[in-house]
Amino acid sequence: MEALLSIVGFAAMMGGLIGLLANYSIFSPSPLVIAGQVLALAMMLWARVTFGQRSFHLTATPTEGGLVTTGPYRLVRHPIYASVCLFIFASALGHPSLRTAVFASLVIIGVVIRALTEEKLVARQYPAYKDYAKRTKRLIPYVL
């Protein structure tokens, strides 16, 4: 069931992203939007480098190699998803409209589905994940 849910989450993320691209609502000349997106990309790169050579799985199945709790993973459990949210939120701010809000919401809903599903799968494979989850927030440090 989790595998199917994670694919649904991924499809929602991609659908929202494609909608934003088709609507020309990803990039903006606004310095505030650009700053938010650059910060999101930097955070995503930091998380990806920290995560190492592990690959992306469509079904959000955990990778071998142990639980990663260093780098940005010591602040939040899902720094790559947090980066996606920040990037999309900045995009939506740069193009305020109902259509943009719908597409951005679709991405955020997909991220939430993926994060929750991934947590169940990772907790099964790595029992230490439960303690890690107690001391770190899901997407926003010290908040959520």
Q: What tens digit of pLDDT does each residue of 16-34 get?
A: 999 999 999 999 999 999 9
The pLDDT of residue 136 is above 90: yes
The pLDDT of residue 56 is above 80: no
Give a three-class secondary structure readout of the chain. CHHHHHHHHHHHHHHHHHHHHHCCCCCCCCHHHHHHHHHHHHHHHHHHHHHCCCCCCCCCCCCCCCCCCCHHHHCECCHHHHHHHHHHHHHHHHCCCHHHHHHHHHHHHHHHHHHHHHHHHHHHHCCCHHHHHHHCECCCCCCC
Per the prediction, the chain carries an average pLDDT of 93
